[in-house]
């Protein structure tokens, strides 16, 4: 009888990076859409979770909202990021930027929701602002107010869209 060595597969320490922030955003979006026939959101498939057999998604979430007594609707993308910095976000962390901007050029609303782990605060930034601003390697987003919850940060950026 031969001894076979079975490889040990350990999860990388980076495998769950950002999942807490995405789960917090998903919880808020569930509250936002709950009980409303005119609000919907979907969690887009994560290419890492799918074993990299599918193309990367445009963002973490897509959303749709047609306000009552309105002639226009909201649709768009929400990308959720987590950073170890108090007020900066690395450009390399937002590889979806070209897709977010293209979606906005087609009439969509695109936001990047940032969780700062070091201070446990949230900021929400419009993707077009991010396209047009920032240093070469990162964005200084200190000018955007920091909030305790993802919902507060989303509502501060667009109260008509993100109010419960």
| CATH at residue 73 | 3.40.1350.10
In the three-class reduction of DSSP (H, G, I as helix; E, B as strand; rest coil), residue 117 is classed as coil
| 8 part of a folded domain | no
Q: What is the pLDDT of residues 96-109, one digit of tens each?
A: 999 999 999 999 99
| 101 part of a folded domain | yes
How buried is 158 (Cβ within 10 angstroms: 0-12 exposed, 13-18 middle, 19+ buried)? middle
| Residue 12 pLDDT > 50 | no
| 48 part of a folded domain | yes
| Residue 135 pLDDT > 50 | yes
Q: What is the domain extent for residue 112?
A: 19-162
pTM of the model: 0.84
Q: What is the pLDDT of residues 67-82, one digit of tens each?
A: 988 888 999 999 999 9
Residue 58 CB partners (closer than 8 Å, separation 6+): 44, 77, 96, 99, 100, 103
| 113 part of a folded domain | yes
Mean of per-residue pLDDT scores for the chain: 87
Name which of 6-20, 52-66, 123-137 the model is least confident about: 6-20
Count of domains in the chain? 1
- In degrees and rounded to multiples of 5, residue 99 shows phi and psi of -70, -40
Residue 1 CB partners (closer than 8 Å, separation 6+): none
| 31 part of a folded domain | yes
| 111 part of a folded domain | yes
The larger pLDDT score, comparing residue 116 to residue 18, is at: 116
Q: What is the pLDDT of residues 24-63, one digit of tens each?
A: 999 999 999 999 999 999 999 875 654 555 567 889 999 9
| 13 part of a folded domain | no
Stretch 111-134: mean pLDDT? 95
């Amino acid at each position: 009888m031969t001894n076979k060595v079975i490889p040990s597969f350990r999860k990388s320490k980076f495998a769950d990076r950002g999942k807490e922030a995405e789960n917090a955003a998903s919880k808020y979006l569930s509250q936002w859409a709950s009980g409303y026939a005119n609000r919907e959101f979907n969690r887009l498939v994560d290419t890492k979770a799918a074993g990299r057999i599918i193309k990367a998604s445009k963002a973490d979430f897509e959303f749709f909202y047609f306000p009552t007594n309105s002639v226009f609707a909201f649709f768009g993308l929400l990308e959720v990021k987590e950073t170890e910095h108090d007020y900066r976000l690395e450009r390399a962390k937002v590889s979806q930027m070209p897709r977010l901007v293209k979606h906005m050029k087609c009439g969509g609303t695109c936001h990047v929701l940032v969780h700062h782990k070091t201070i446990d605060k949230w900021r929400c930034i419009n993707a077009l602002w991010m396209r047009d601003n920032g240093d070469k390697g990162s964005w200084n987003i200190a000018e955007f107010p920091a909030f305790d919850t993802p919902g507060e940060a989303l509502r501060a950026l667009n109260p008509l869209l993100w109010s419960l």
